[in-house]
Amino acid sequence: NINIVDPNMPTQVNPQKQKTAFPPNFVHSLDASHMVLSAIECKIAGLVFASVHDSYWTHACDVDKMNTILRDQFVRMHTEPIMERLKAEFEERYSDHMLPVASWDYVNSFSFEKNGALKAGTQRLSKTTREQRRQLVETELARLHLETCEDTVGEDMVQQQITANDAELAESMEPVDLTSIELVDSETDPVGAARQADLIAYTTRINAGRIRDERKAIMKEHRERVSRLRSYFTRQAKAAKAAKAERKPRKKFGSVEPTVESAEPTSKPQVVTEAGKLEAADLDAINSGVLAQDSLDTYIETLKLDRDLQIDRLQAKYPTKFDRPLIISLPAGSRAAEVEQLKMLIKQGKLAGRLVKSHRFDKLTFDDLPAQGDFNINEVLQSPYFFS
Protein backbone atom coordinates (compact mmCIF):
# COMPACT_ATOMS: atom_id res chain seq x y z
CA ASN A 1 0.00 0.00 0.00
CA ILE A 2 1.17 3.50 -0.79
CA ASN A 3 0.11 6.40 1.41
CA ILE A 4 0.45 9.91 0.03
CA VAL A 5 0.58 12.59 2.69
CA ASP A 6 0.43 16.32 2.02
CA PRO A 7 2.43 18.06 4.78
CA ASN A 8 0.55 21.29 4.11
CA MET A 9 -2.81 19.74 4.92
CA PRO A 10 -4.06 20.37 8.47
CA THR A 11 -4.02 17.31 10.67
CA GLN A 12 -5.65 16.58 13.97
CA VAL A 13 -3.64 17.67 16.99
CA ASN A 14 -2.97 15.04 19.63
CA PRO A 15 -3.37 16.90 22.95
CA GLN A 16 -1.69 14.16 24.97
CA LYS A 17 1.43 14.18 22.79
CA GLN A 18 1.51 17.96 22.96
CA LYS A 19 1.38 17.87 26.74
CA THR A 20 4.16 15.30 27.06
CA ALA A 21 6.38 16.91 24.41
CA PHE A 22 6.36 20.48 25.69
CA PRO A 23 8.29 20.13 29.00
CA PRO A 24 11.44 18.49 27.55
CA ASN A 25 11.42 20.83 24.56
CA PHE A 26 11.14 23.83 26.83
CA VAL A 27 14.08 22.59 28.92
CA HIS A 28 16.08 22.11 25.71
CA SER A 29 15.32 25.71 24.79
CA LEU A 30 16.74 26.84 28.13
CA ASP A 31 19.90 24.81 27.46
CA ALA A 32 20.20 26.48 24.07
CA SER A 33 19.73 29.92 25.63
CA HIS A 34 22.45 29.18 28.15
CA MET A 35 24.77 28.04 25.35
CA VAL A 36 24.19 31.26 23.38
CA LEU A 37 24.81 33.46 26.43
CA SER A 38 27.99 31.52 27.21
CA ALA A 39 29.23 31.78 23.61
CA ILE A 40 28.73 35.56 23.60
CA GLU A 41 30.65 36.00 26.86
CA CYS A 42 33.46 33.72 25.69
CA LYS A 43 33.85 35.84 22.55
CA ILE A 44 33.98 39.01 24.65
CA ALA A 45 36.65 37.38 26.84
CA GLY A 46 38.64 36.30 23.76
CA LEU A 47 38.11 32.56 24.27
CA VAL A 48 37.73 30.05 21.46
CA PHE A 49 34.32 28.37 22.02
CA ALA A 50 32.71 25.28 20.50
CA SER A 51 29.72 23.22 21.59
CA VAL A 52 27.49 20.30 20.75
CA HIS A 53 24.16 20.52 22.56
CA ASP A 54 25.21 20.86 26.23
CA SER A 55 28.89 19.94 25.79
CA TYR A 56 31.22 22.96 25.68
CA TRP A 57 34.82 23.08 24.50
CA THR A 58 37.73 25.49 24.52
CA HIS A 59 41.53 25.30 24.67
CA ALA A 60 42.90 23.54 27.76
CA CYS A 61 44.54 26.71 28.98
CA ASP A 62 41.15 28.52 29.02
CA VAL A 63 38.99 25.80 30.63
CA ASP A 64 38.93 27.51 34.05
CA LYS A 65 37.90 30.81 32.49
CA MET A 66 35.15 29.10 30.47
CA ASN A 67 33.97 27.27 33.59
CA THR A 68 33.50 30.59 35.37
CA ILE A 69 31.64 32.05 32.39
CA LEU A 70 29.33 29.03 32.17
CA ARG A 71 28.41 29.29 35.86
CA ASP A 72 27.87 33.06 35.71
CA GLN A 73 25.59 32.84 32.67
CA PHE A 74 23.66 29.93 34.19
CA VAL A 75 22.98 31.90 37.39
CA ARG A 76 22.19 35.03 35.37
CA MET A 77 19.59 33.21 33.29
CA HIS A 78 17.87 31.40 36.16
CA THR A 79 17.58 34.44 38.39
CA GLU A 80 15.14 35.82 35.83
CA PRO A 81 11.38 35.03 36.30
CA ILE A 82 11.37 32.53 33.44
CA MET A 83 8.22 30.62 34.38
CA GLU A 84 6.27 33.78 35.22
CA ARG A 85 7.11 35.24 31.82
CA LEU A 86 6.16 32.00 30.08
CA LYS A 87 2.79 31.87 31.82
CA ALA A 88 2.07 35.53 31.05
CA GLU A 89 3.00 35.00 27.40
CA PHE A 90 0.74 31.94 27.09
CA GLU A 91 -2.19 33.71 28.76
CA GLU A 92 -1.87 36.62 26.34
CA ARG A 93 -1.24 34.54 23.23
CA TYR A 94 -3.96 31.96 23.88
CA SER A 95 -6.53 34.13 25.65
CA ASP A 96 -9.24 33.36 23.05
CA HIS A 97 -8.28 29.76 22.30
CA MET A 98 -10.65 26.86 22.90
CA LEU A 99 -9.43 23.37 23.66
CA PRO A 100 -11.30 20.25 22.48
CA VAL A 101 -11.96 18.04 25.47
CA ALA A 102 -13.32 14.49 25.43
CA SER A 103 -15.25 13.43 28.47
CA TRP A 104 -17.47 10.71 29.85
CA ASP A 105 -20.86 12.10 30.83
CA TYR A 106 -23.08 10.30 33.32
CA VAL A 107 -26.62 10.82 32.05
CA ASN A 108 -29.87 10.03 33.84
CA SER A 109 -31.65 8.51 30.86
CA PHE A 110 -34.07 6.40 32.87
CA SER A 111 -37.62 7.05 33.99
CA PHE A 112 -39.56 6.11 37.09
CA GLU A 113 -43.11 5.07 37.70
CA LYS A 114 -45.13 7.20 40.12
CA ASN A 115 -44.31 4.82 42.95
CA GLY A 116 -40.58 5.22 42.34
CA ALA A 117 -39.96 1.95 40.49
CA LEU A 118 -38.14 1.96 37.16
CA LYS A 119 -40.52 1.83 34.23
CA ALA A 120 -40.69 -1.60 32.63
CA GLY A 121 -39.14 -1.65 29.19
CA THR A 122 -36.86 1.38 29.63
CA GLN A 123 -33.89 -0.99 29.52
CA ARG A 124 -33.57 -3.65 26.85
CA LEU A 125 -33.18 -6.44 29.30
CA SER A 126 -35.08 -9.57 30.16
CA LYS A 127 -37.95 -9.24 32.60
CA THR A 128 -35.97 -10.98 35.34
CA THR A 129 -32.94 -8.74 34.80
CA ARG A 130 -35.13 -5.63 34.80
CA GLU A 131 -36.65 -6.67 38.10
CA GLN A 132 -33.21 -7.27 39.59
CA ARG A 133 -32.04 -3.88 38.35
CA ARG A 134 -35.13 -2.18 39.76
CA GLN A 135 -34.50 -3.71 43.18
CA LEU A 136 -30.81 -2.80 43.08
CA VAL A 137 -31.54 0.78 42.05
CA GLU A 138 -34.11 1.28 44.79
CA THR A 139 -31.72 -0.25 47.31
CA GLU A 140 -28.90 2.06 46.32
CA LEU A 141 -31.20 5.07 46.39
CA ALA A 142 -32.32 4.09 49.85
CA ARG A 143 -28.74 3.71 50.98
CA LEU A 144 -27.82 7.09 49.59
CA HIS A 145 -30.81 8.61 51.34
CA LEU A 146 -29.63 7.23 54.67
CA GLU A 147 -26.06 8.34 54.01
CA THR A 148 -26.91 11.92 53.04
CA CYS A 149 -29.85 12.79 55.26
CA GLU A 150 -29.13 14.64 58.47
CA ASP A 151 -30.02 12.31 61.29
CA THR A 152 -29.65 12.65 65.02
CA VAL A 153 -28.63 9.04 65.51
CA GLY A 154 -25.01 8.13 66.04
CA GLU A 155 -22.63 6.92 63.36
CA ASP A 156 -22.85 3.30 64.49
CA MET A 157 -26.62 3.41 64.27
CA VAL A 158 -26.47 4.85 60.75
CA GLN A 159 -24.12 2.07 59.66
CA GLN A 160 -26.52 -0.51 61.06
CA GLN A 161 -29.38 1.06 59.09
CA ILE A 162 -27.33 1.09 55.89
CA THR A 163 -26.59 -2.62 56.18
CA ALA A 164 -30.16 -3.51 57.14
CA ASN A 165 -32.55 -5.54 55.01
CA ASP A 166 -32.47 -4.20 51.45
CA ALA A 167 -36.16 -4.79 50.81
CA GLU A 168 -37.14 -2.85 53.91
CA LEU A 169 -34.89 0.02 52.88
CA ALA A 170 -36.44 0.16 49.40
CA GLU A 171 -39.96 0.14 50.80
CA SER A 172 -39.25 2.83 53.39
CA MET A 173 -37.31 5.12 51.01
CA GLU A 174 -38.53 8.69 50.75
CA PRO A 175 -37.44 11.48 48.37
CA VAL A 176 -34.97 14.01 49.72
CA ASP A 177 -35.64 17.69 50.26
CA LEU A 178 -34.17 19.36 47.18
CA THR A 179 -34.14 22.76 48.89
CA SER A 180 -31.59 21.64 51.48
CA ILE A 181 -29.68 18.77 49.87
CA GLU A 182 -25.88 19.06 50.07
CA LEU A 183 -24.39 18.35 46.67
CA VAL A 184 -21.60 15.82 46.33
CA ASP A 185 -18.54 17.15 44.48
CA SER A 186 -18.19 15.14 41.27
CA GLU A 187 -14.50 16.03 41.05
CA THR A 188 -13.62 14.35 44.34
CA ASP A 189 -16.35 11.69 44.45
CA PRO A 190 -17.83 10.97 41.00
CA VAL A 191 -19.49 7.74 42.12
CA GLY A 192 -21.20 9.47 45.03
CA ALA A 193 -22.26 12.29 42.72
CA ALA A 194 -23.73 9.79 40.25
CA ARG A 195 -25.71 8.11 43.02
CA GLN A 196 -26.93 11.49 44.18
CA ALA A 197 -27.92 12.35 40.60
CA ASP A 198 -30.08 9.21 40.60
CA LEU A 199 -31.63 10.25 43.88
CA ILE A 200 -32.36 13.77 42.60
CA ALA A 201 -33.98 12.31 39.49
CA TYR A 202 -35.95 9.92 41.69
CA THR A 203 -37.17 12.83 43.82
CA THR A 204 -38.23 15.00 40.89
CA ARG A 205 -40.19 12.14 39.35
CA ILE A 206 -41.88 11.31 42.63
CA ASN A 207 -42.72 15.00 43.06
CA ALA A 208 -44.18 15.16 39.55
CA GLY A 209 -46.48 12.28 40.45
CA ARG A 210 -47.46 13.94 43.72
CA ILE A 211 -48.29 17.20 41.95
CA ARG A 212 -50.38 15.33 39.39
CA ASP A 213 -52.30 13.39 42.04
CA GLU A 214 -52.87 16.33 44.38
CA ARG A 215 -53.90 18.57 41.50
CA LYS A 216 -56.52 16.02 40.49
CA ALA A 217 -57.75 15.87 44.09
CA ILE A 218 -57.95 19.68 44.33
CA MET A 219 -59.85 19.93 41.03
CA LYS A 220 -62.24 17.16 42.04
CA GLU A 221 -62.88 18.73 45.44
CA HIS A 222 -63.55 22.10 43.79
CA ARG A 223 -66.02 20.63 41.28
CA GLU A 224 -67.88 18.75 43.99
CA ARG A 225 -68.00 21.84 46.23
CA VAL A 226 -69.39 24.01 43.42
CA SER A 227 -71.89 21.30 42.51
CA ARG A 228 -73.12 21.08 46.10
CA LEU A 229 -73.53 24.85 46.30
CA ARG A 230 -75.51 25.03 43.05
CA SER A 231 -77.64 22.08 44.10
CA TYR A 232 -78.30 23.70 47.46
CA PHE A 233 -79.48 27.01 46.00
CA THR A 234 -81.57 25.20 43.38
CA ARG A 235 -83.38 23.31 46.13
CA GLN A 236 -83.75 26.50 48.15
CA ALA A 237 -85.31 28.27 45.16
CA LYS A 238 -87.74 25.43 44.58
CA ALA A 239 -88.68 25.33 48.27
CA ALA A 240 -89.28 29.10 48.33
CA LYS A 241 -91.43 28.87 45.18
CA ALA A 242 -93.49 26.06 46.68
CA ALA A 243 -93.95 27.95 49.95
CA LYS A 244 -95.10 31.05 48.06
CA ALA A 245 -97.65 28.99 46.11
CA GLU A 246 -99.10 27.57 49.35
CA ARG A 247 -99.49 31.03 50.90
CA LYS A 248 -101.34 32.44 47.87
CA PRO A 249 -105.18 32.65 48.74
CA ARG A 250 -107.66 30.77 46.55
CA LYS A 251 -110.70 32.54 45.06
CA LYS A 252 -114.13 30.92 45.58
CA PHE A 253 -116.48 30.76 42.62
CA GLY A 254 -119.14 33.48 42.71
CA SER A 255 -117.65 35.30 45.68
CA VAL A 256 -114.97 37.77 46.26
CA GLU A 257 -112.47 37.04 48.99
CA PRO A 258 -110.39 39.77 50.47
CA THR A 259 -106.92 39.93 49.11
CA VAL A 260 -104.43 38.66 51.60
CA GLU A 261 -101.05 40.26 51.44
CA SER A 262 -98.07 37.95 51.33
CA ALA A 263 -97.68 36.87 54.87
CA GLU A 264 -94.33 36.74 56.52
CA PRO A 265 -93.30 33.30 57.63
CA THR A 266 -93.76 32.65 61.30
CA SER A 267 -90.10 31.85 61.68
CA LYS A 268 -86.95 32.30 59.58
CA PRO A 269 -86.20 29.11 57.69
CA GLN A 270 -83.05 27.41 58.87
CA VAL A 271 -80.29 26.54 56.46
CA VAL A 272 -80.56 22.93 55.47
CA THR A 273 -77.10 21.37 55.42
CA GLU A 274 -78.16 18.59 53.09
CA ALA A 275 -76.73 15.86 55.28
CA GLY A 276 -73.67 17.96 56.07
CA LYS A 277 -72.47 18.14 52.48
CA LEU A 278 -71.75 21.86 52.47
CA GLU A 279 -68.39 23.09 53.70
CA ALA A 280 -68.33 24.86 57.05
CA ALA A 281 -67.01 28.01 55.38
CA ASP A 282 -69.89 27.94 52.89
CA LEU A 283 -72.46 27.52 55.67
CA ASP A 284 -70.97 30.45 57.55
CA ALA A 285 -71.13 32.57 54.40
CA ILE A 286 -74.80 31.65 53.87
CA ASN A 287 -75.82 32.25 57.49
CA SER A 288 -74.02 35.61 57.56
CA GLY A 289 -75.67 36.74 54.33
CA VAL A 290 -72.42 36.95 52.38
CA LEU A 291 -73.50 34.15 50.09
CA ALA A 292 -76.91 34.20 48.45
CA GLN A 293 -78.50 33.16 45.17
CA ASP A 294 -77.65 36.40 43.41
CA SER A 295 -73.99 36.35 44.60
CA LEU A 296 -73.33 32.65 43.93
CA ASP A 297 -71.39 33.22 40.68
CA THR A 298 -69.09 35.76 42.32
CA TYR A 299 -68.53 33.40 45.26
CA ILE A 300 -67.63 30.56 42.87
CA GLU A 301 -65.08 32.79 41.12
CA THR A 302 -63.47 33.37 44.51
CA LEU A 303 -63.33 29.61 45.05
CA LYS A 304 -61.64 29.22 41.63
CA LEU A 305 -58.94 31.71 42.61
CA ASP A 306 -58.35 29.81 45.84
CA ARG A 307 -58.19 26.54 43.87
CA ASP A 308 -55.60 27.95 41.44
CA LEU A 309 -53.54 29.26 44.36
CA GLN A 310 -53.48 25.80 45.94
CA ILE A 311 -52.30 24.30 42.64
CA ASP A 312 -49.56 26.93 42.26
CA ARG A 313 -48.27 26.14 45.74
CA LEU A 314 -47.74 22.50 44.78
CA GLN A 315 -44.73 23.40 42.63
CA ALA A 316 -42.99 25.00 45.60
CA LYS A 317 -44.00 22.13 47.85
CA TYR A 318 -42.83 19.43 45.44
CA PRO A 319 -39.99 20.74 43.20
CA THR A 320 -39.79 18.97 39.86
CA LYS A 321 -36.78 20.91 38.54
CA PHE A 322 -33.30 21.14 39.93
CA ASP A 323 -30.79 23.88 39.11
CA ARG A 324 -27.86 21.49 38.78
CA PRO A 325 -27.78 19.47 35.54
CA LEU A 326 -27.83 15.77 36.27
CA ILE A 327 -24.64 15.22 34.27
CA ILE A 328 -21.25 14.38 35.74
CA SER A 329 -18.29 14.79 33.39
CA LEU A 330 -14.99 13.01 33.72
CA PRO A 331 -12.08 13.81 31.38
CA ALA A 332 -11.46 10.97 28.94
CA GLY A 333 -8.01 9.45 29.22
CA SER A 334 -7.70 10.27 32.90
CA ARG A 335 -9.35 9.07 36.10
CA ALA A 336 -9.77 5.69 34.43
CA ALA A 337 -10.43 4.02 37.79
CA GLU A 338 -13.51 6.19 38.45
CA VAL A 339 -14.83 5.60 34.94
CA GLU A 340 -14.42 1.83 35.26
CA GLN A 341 -16.11 1.88 38.65
CA LEU A 342 -19.08 3.76 37.20
CA LYS A 343 -19.28 1.29 34.32
CA MET A 344 -19.27 -1.63 36.74
CA LEU A 345 -22.00 -0.12 38.93
CA ILE A 346 -24.15 0.60 35.88
CA LYS A 347 -23.65 -2.94 34.60
CA GLN A 348 -24.60 -4.33 38.02
CA GLY A 349 -27.73 -2.18 38.05
CA LYS A 350 -26.63 -0.18 41.08
CA LEU A 351 -26.73 3.04 39.07
CA ALA A 352 -29.69 3.83 36.86
CA GLY A 353 -27.99 6.16 34.37
CA ARG A 354 -25.50 5.52 31.60
CA LEU A 355 -22.08 6.75 30.46
CA VAL A 356 -21.87 8.64 27.19
CA LYS A 357 -18.61 9.77 25.61
CA SER A 358 -18.87 13.29 24.31
CA HIS A 359 -16.65 16.11 23.06
CA ARG A 360 -16.82 19.76 23.88
CA PHE A 361 -14.65 22.87 23.68
CA ASP A 362 -13.35 24.44 26.88
CA LYS A 363 -11.50 27.69 27.24
CA LEU A 364 -7.76 27.13 27.51
CA THR A 365 -6.58 27.92 31.04
CA PHE A 366 -3.27 27.67 32.85
CA ASP A 367 -2.72 26.51 36.40
CA ASP A 368 -1.07 28.69 39.00
CA LEU A 369 2.66 28.25 39.31
CA PRO A 370 3.89 26.20 42.28
CA ALA A 371 5.76 27.91 45.05
CA GLN A 372 9.46 28.39 44.35
CA GLY A 373 11.82 26.09 46.21
CA ASP A 374 14.38 27.23 48.76
CA PHE A 375 17.41 26.32 46.64
CA ASN A 376 19.84 29.21 46.29
CA ILE A 377 20.90 29.39 42.64
CA ASN A 378 24.09 31.24 43.61
CA GLU A 379 25.41 28.02 45.13
CA VAL A 380 26.10 26.93 41.56
CA LEU A 381 29.01 29.38 41.49
CA GLN A 382 30.90 27.41 44.12
CA SER A 383 29.55 23.89 43.64
CA PRO A 384 32.09 21.30 42.39
CA TYR A 385 29.34 19.33 40.64
CA PHE A 386 28.28 21.89 38.03
CA PHE A 387 30.25 22.38 34.79
CA SER A 388 33.23 20.41 36.07
Task: Give CA separation, 327 vs 103, 116, 134, 353, in Å.
Answer: 11, 20, 21, 10
Residue 117: helix, strand or coil by DSSP? coil
Please say whether the dihedral angle defined by the alpha carbons of residues 121, 193, 360 and 13, taken in this order, is positive or negative.
negative
Catalytic residues: 54
Scored b (16 or more CB within 10 A) or e, 132-158 reads ebbbbbbbbbbbbbbbbeeeeeeeeee
Task: Give CA separation, 178 vs 132, 185, 341, 351, in Å.
Answer: 28, 16, 27, 20
Element housing 56 (H / E): strand 55-57
| Distance from C-alpha of 301 to C-alpha of 299, rounded to nearest angstrom | 5
Q: Give me the helix-helix angle, 63-78 and 15-45, nearest 10°.
A: 130
Element housing 191 (H / E): helix 190-247
